[in-house]
Amino acid sequence: MHREIDTLIITPADMGQIDQAAAASGLASYGLMERAGQAVAATALRRFPGALRFAVLCGPGNNGGDGYVAARALQEAGASVVAHALGETAALKGDAKLAFEAFDGEVAPLATYAPRPGDVVIDALFGAGLSRDVPDEVAKTIEAVRKTVLPVLAVDLPSGVDGRTGQVKGTAFEATATITFMCRKPGHLLLPGKTLAGAVEVFDIGIPVRILARHAHHLRVNTPAIWRVALPVQTDATHKYVRGHLAVFSGPATATGAARLSAMAGIRAGAGLVTLLSPRDALPANAAHLTAVMLKAIDNEADLAALLQDERLKTFVLGPGFGDAGKIRAYAKLLAARDRHLVLDADGISAFRDEPDVLFALFAAGRTRLVLTPHDGEFARLFPDLAADKALSKIERAQKAARRSNGVIILKGADTVIAAPDGRALVNENAPPWLATAGSGDVLAGMVGAHLTQGMPAFEAAASAVWRHGEAGRIAGEGLTAEDLPGAIPPWPVA
């Protein structure tokens, strides 16, 4: 498949516009449905060669039309097929009606489907466009399939999953695999849809890339293709200050480990120098564990102001294990006034929970210099209204937060979203589940800082750090601890 298609994410609403644009360009819409249904049938035969029977469940729209094409193709291939319809087939319209009429098998009501061992269910009921709870009739069918423990091949997206948000509308099929067309939808990448979709296959049914790209709205999967052009350039003239000087603030003597994780990740991720800014009472604890990372005593704003006389020190990580909310706010104000880049993580985010607008005002002017790295709980402290708005997808929450803060948002999780103030958004998919361990976020913050201090723009610095962080988790392997991650950070991708 075309590489551009691989990275695009299309919302269901935009997919509807794409279908209309494809038809307006001269592509026969029924031809697209025919190719989609044939792909479903081929996938079913390939994935489930031992199926005793294929039960094709067809909805009242075009997703159901794909199902009727698949049922016909399976029947022509010699497979045992039963088809069941939601609603009256006499009410079908357009391409779905044509597909139904081309299938010469019996179509029974959905309520009469009785799952039995050996069935493979082809779910062509709703697809990605569902935005309301599934009807009771569908919910009962889903429950019956679940109790019988049958494999499900979903067409476009498991019925019951909202393609825009990934959220479940009442209940949903848990698919073994999903086949979708042209591009993935947000529901394939956002939880819990990501889990319910199983293995996702994307099939090219022939819509031109130019039409897809026109409606993608800067929403992509996070891959090196997105940010490779922004990677730091290494030459024979490169020296440590060209690679950038990163500073990480340490917490007190009893809470120094998080900052050291960030600092070590920073130097492993490419910063030329990393300095740990430590309270004096924490100097012995930090010194006992540091070699390549430098150490500087910083106890107050005056100490920090003196340090900022060095213009080569442009990027700071503040928050991991820091603790002192008042000092965080004071330091952030000083860094913003001195035009520095700031990665605000953990305690740094929580410090502004009572006055988030103060933080946003500090970084409101000029280029983007602020990167925020919240998990869902921390996000709710800075953006309580967005967190509470259940109508928004995770992507939409991150986009709105980025605009409000004039910062890059890394909204963390198994479906991490990276969003920029200008509306660009990426969804990450390469992080293994064992990356969810204490200290993993501290490592990510240091990596973002390292990328920023090497001169990458904030959005690209954040996106590339999230991707390399995921790769580090894969390299370190199951059972990793956060201490393993800095040494597993991979080199920059070159192709």
**Confidence label for 65 from pLDDT (cuts 50, 70 and 90):** very high
The one-character DSSP state at 365 is S
Q: Is the pLDDT of residue 237 over 50?
A: no
- Say what the pLDDT of residue 2 is: 44
- pLDDT, residue 1, reads 40
For residues 103 and 71, the answer to whether their CB atoms sit within 8 Å is yes
Question: Which one, of 338, 454, 459, 442, lies nearest residue 403 by Cα?
Answer: 459
3-state secondary structure of 184: strand
Q: What is the mean pLDDT of residues 130-143?
A: 95
For the stretch 86-130, pLDDT in tens is 999 999 999 999 999 999 999 999 999 999 999 999 999 998 988
Going by C-beta distance under 8 Å and a sequence separation of 6 or more, which residues neighbour residue 51?
Answer: 44, 79, 118, 119, 120
What single string gives the DSSP state of each residue in 22-67? HHHTT--HHHHHHHHHHHHHHHHHHH-TT-SEEEEEE-SSHHHHHH
SS3 content of the chain, % helix, strand, coil (to 5): 45, 15, 40
Cα–Cα distance between 40 and 69 in angstroms, integer?
Answer: 9
Taking each helix axis from N to C end, the angle separating 62-76 and 94-102, rounded to the nearest 10 degrees, works out to: 20
Percent of the chain's residues with pLDDT above 90:
92
Residue 267: closest CA among 443, 51, 141, 87: 443
CA distances from 93 to 16, 23, 25, 97, 168 (A): 16, 16, 22, 5, 27
The tens digit of pLDDT for each residue in 29-52 reads 999 999 999 999 999 999 999 999
Q: Which of 378, 371, 324, 315 is nearest to 344 (CA)?
A: 371
Residue 73: in which H helix or E strand, if any? Answer: helix 62-76
- 8 secondary structure, DSSP code: B
CA dist 79 and 122 (Å) reads 13
DSSP conformational letter for 489: P
- For the chain, give the mean pLDDT: 95
